[in-house]
């Protein structure tokens, strides 16, 4: 029997962190950079309303695009909505990459850039990070006539570092105009550094840069899968050709609108993150665990000089119902990633840290 054959693609599988512990009902999950405080209470109210589930949602997400447009003062026609920013990355790869094009990603950065690029037939070039930071020079060294897209997450996951606005502008200036720059602003709202500007702020008039944003991080809506992209009308139009017609649900669209409206809740999250990331940073450093300065809502922890190595540390925290993210899939040795949690979670993390290091 000759069965249908799927396409032969050379792609690594995305392997997420563990999210369950056997026999433990609610482990403290500090492994996925999710929000510490959850969504705005206004969002929760949606679920108390009578929902008309039998009708399709608005396939153009007009309300959410309108809300984003007013909130960020950008043209609604330059916005595309996705099932998470994940889908925006996928749509950009589908609409721009042809077989054997090259893309450039930092060797330690969000895995989906390389995965969607490979799925679309691209050859991935890996730029070295310098001191755990995206390097403009290392990236520029890899540019060739075949380069189609350069990806950058700023701040970067999983290193927790950022590049300043001047470096981002230098990157764009030195890339040939025909290369698309994709700036992933997933953690932009958390950053309070004076020399930082988000992709959205820097590239609001660019014709060859696309920015993606998410409701999964500071807005606390990871489960509802809402992200969006911003770019020139041409870029957005081409990405829309590949977008499934009803790619986010009506509930997600409404939740996104309500989340954006609640500026107070956003501020509360920023204050919480500043407070706790600074406390965690000091405690971690005292234990000779190397880490990045607090920038977003997570830390990359390196155990080379610490009392326990990363495997031992992972087990100790797991034994106390705390899940951290292993870094093997990112190829980062002797390291774990920690997300800033709520007060109870952070206090418990610090207690275990103090006891064991
Ligand atoms: C840098 C970065 N971009 C995008 C995403 C995906 O987010 P979403 O839930 O919007 O698909 C993540 C998730 O961890 C991330 O770290």
Distance from the CA of 213 to the center of ligand 1, in angstroms? 8
- Distance, CA of 171 to CA of 173 (rounded, Å): 6
- Residue ranges of the alpha helices (H) in the chain? 41-44, 62-72, 84-96, 111-119, 136-141, 165-174, 199-202, 233-241, 250-261, 263-286, 310-319, 343-356
List the structure tokens of 47. 């679920």
Q: How far apart are CA 96 and CA 22, in angstroms?
A: 43
Q: Which of the listed CATH numbers 3.40.50.1000, 2.30.42.10, 3.90.1150.10, 3.40.140.80 matches domain 28-40+264-356?
A: 3.90.1150.10
Q: Is the pLDDT of residue 195 over 90?
A: yes
C-beta of 227 in contact with ligand 1 (< 6 A)? yes
CB 323 within 8 A of CB 30: yes
Q: Which residue has the tokens 């006891």?
A: 355
Phi/psi at 243 (5° precision): -80, 130
Report CA(88)–ligand 1 centroid distance (Å). 10
Give the model confidence (pLDDT) of 129-185 as tens digits: 999 999 999 999 999 999 999 999 999 999 999 999 999 999 999 999 999 999 999
The 3-state DSSP class for residue 193 equals coil
pLDDT digits (tens, 9 = 90+) for 200-244: 999 999 999 999 999 999 999 999 999 999 999 999 999 999 999
Backbone angles phi, psi at 300, to 5 degrees: -95, 120
C-alpha 309/C-alpha 288 separation (Å) is: 11
Q: Is ligand 1 within 6 A of the CB of residue 157?
A: yes
For residue 163 and ligand 1, the question of a CB distance below 6 A is answered with no
CATH code reported for the domain at 41-261: 3.40.640.10
Q: Which atom of ligand 1 is found nearest the CA of 89? A: 4
CATH 3.40.640.10 domain span(s) along the chain: 41-261
CA pair distance 115, 10, nearest whole angstrom? 9
The model's pLDDT over 96-128, given as tens digits with 9 standing for 90+, comes to 999 999 999 999 999 999 999 999 999 999 999
State the Cα–Cα distance between residues 345 and 343, nearest whole angstrom: 6
- The CATH 3.90.1150.10 domain(s) of the chain lie at 28-40+264-356
Q: How far is the CA of 3 from the centre of ligand 1 (A)?
A: 36
Global pTM reads: 0.96
Question: What mean pLDDT value characterizes the chain?
Answer: 95
* Angle formed at CA 244 by CA 103 and CA 246, multiple of 5 degrees: 140
Calculate how far, in angstroms, residue 287's C-alpha sits from the geometric centre of ligand 1: 30
């Amino acid at each position: 029997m000759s069965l249908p054959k799927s396409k032969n693609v050379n792609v690594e599988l995305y392997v997420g962190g563990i999210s369950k512990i056997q026999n433990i009902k609610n482990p403290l999950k500090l492994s996925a950079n999710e929000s510490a405080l959850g969504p705005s209470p206004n969002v929760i109210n949606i679920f108390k309303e009578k929902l008309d589930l039998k009708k399709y949602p608005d396939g153009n997400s007009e309300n959410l695009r309108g809300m984003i447009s007013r909130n960020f003062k950008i043209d609604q026609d330059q916005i595309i909505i996705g099932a998470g920013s994940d889908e925006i990355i996928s749509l950009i790869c589908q609409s721009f990459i042809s077989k054997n094009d090259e893309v450039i990603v930092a060797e330690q950065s969000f895995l989906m850039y390389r995965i969607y690029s490979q799925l679309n037939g691209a050859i991935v070039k890996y730029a070295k990070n310098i001191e755990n930071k995206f390097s403009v020079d290392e990236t520029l060294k890899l540019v060739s006539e075949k380069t189609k897209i350069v990806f950058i997450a700023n701040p970067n996951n999983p290193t927790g570092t950022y590049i300043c606005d001047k470096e981002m502008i230098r990157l764009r200036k030195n890339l040939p105009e025909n290369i698309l720059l994709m700036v992933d602003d997933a953690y932009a709202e958390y950053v309070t550094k004076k020399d930082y500007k988000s992709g959205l702020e820097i590239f609001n008039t660019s014709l060859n840069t696309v920015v993606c944003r998410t409701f999964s991080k500071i807005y606390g809506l990871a489960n509802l899968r809402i992200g969006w992209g911003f770019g020139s009308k041409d870029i957005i139009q081409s990405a829309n050709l590949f977008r499934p017609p009803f790619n986010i649900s009506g509930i997600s669209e409404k939740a996104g609108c309500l989340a954006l409206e609640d500026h107070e809740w956003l501020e509360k999250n920023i204050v919480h993150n500043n407070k706790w990331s600074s406390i965690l940073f000091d405690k971690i450093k005292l234990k000779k665990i190397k880490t990045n300065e607090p920038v977003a809502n997570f830390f990359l922890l390196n155990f080379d000089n610490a009392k326990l190595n990363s495997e031992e540390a992972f087990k100790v925290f797991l034994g106390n119902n705390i899940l951290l993210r292993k870094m093997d899939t990112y190829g980062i040795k002797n390291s774990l990633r920690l997300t800033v949690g709520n007060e109870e979670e952070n206090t418990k993390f610090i207690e275990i840290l103090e006891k064991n290091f």
